[in-house]
Chains A and B, each alone.
Chain A
Amino acid sequence: KQEVTQIPAALSVPEGENLVLNCSFTDSAIYNLQWFRQDPGKGLTSLLLIQSSQREQTSGRLNASLDKSSGRSTLYIAASQPGDSATYLCAVWGDGNKLVFGAGTILRVKS
């Protein structure tokens, strides 16, 4: 059974700092890995999707990497801003097109 773990559970940084969020998964037989953002009491916004054949994806200040063989992904956020404060969720796509989510990292960027 696929399990997804995210570290740290919470992170508080000053504005402008670069930061890395970590995600690991137990079963490397995944199709894709996706990073989402969730604001309090809201739905999910897709940030980046990495296909299993890819190593990384970039969008603006965000860069996500994938090392399928070791079961790891990182989300790098450059020059963090208070508006980046949210919960970041990592999810892997497996059999049956099902998403398995991690518990998330709660990020707070202080101004």
Chain B
Amino acid sequence: GAVVSQHPSRVICKSGTSVKIECRSLDFQATTMFWYRQFPKQSLMLMATSNEGSKATYEQGVEKDKFLINHASLTLSTLTVTSAHPEDSSFYICSARGQLGNNEKLFFGSGTQLSVL
């Protein structure tokens, strides 16, 4: 079946460094990818929506210069957390939407736990 691969699954970094998270759709073309953030015991919050080849659309309150999203191909989107700080520590999940057979499907990555020291 269709799989969305998210890498890395866990990252620990020092404050001030940048972290890149990759999201790949393995056997379908993802026309749209979504990036979510989840704090402990809270809902998944949509951060941004990206369509292949165009700029991402960010939700209100999400800094586009801090969370850089690139969707350069139909199978890959990346989220870069620039100059990470402890308050950026969270669980980040991507999802990819694309055509699979006659239906449009949405699949989620396995998430990335980011810990900023």
> Is B43's CB under 8 angstroms from A42's CB?
no
Query: Which one of A41, A43, A102, A104 lies within 8 Å of B108 (CB-CB)?
Result: A43
- Do residues A104 and B43 form an inter-chain contact, with CB atoms below 8 A? yes
- Give chain B's interface secondary structure class: strand
Which B residues are in CB contact (< 8 Å) with A44?
A: 44, 93, 95, 108
Summed over the interface, the residue pairs from A and B with CB atoms below 8 Å come to a total of 47
Q: B1-44 vs A: 1/0 string, CB under 8 Å? A: 00010100100000000000000000000001010100001111
Whether the Cβ atoms of A103 and B97 lie closer than 8 Å is no
B-side interface size class = 20 to 34
- Chain A residues within 8 Å of B, Cβ to Cβ: 4, 9, 36, 41-46, 89, 91, 96-104
Q: Which B residues fall within an 8 A CB radius of A?
A: 4, 6, 9, 32, 34, 36, 41-46, 49, 91, 93, 95, 97, 106, 108-111, 113
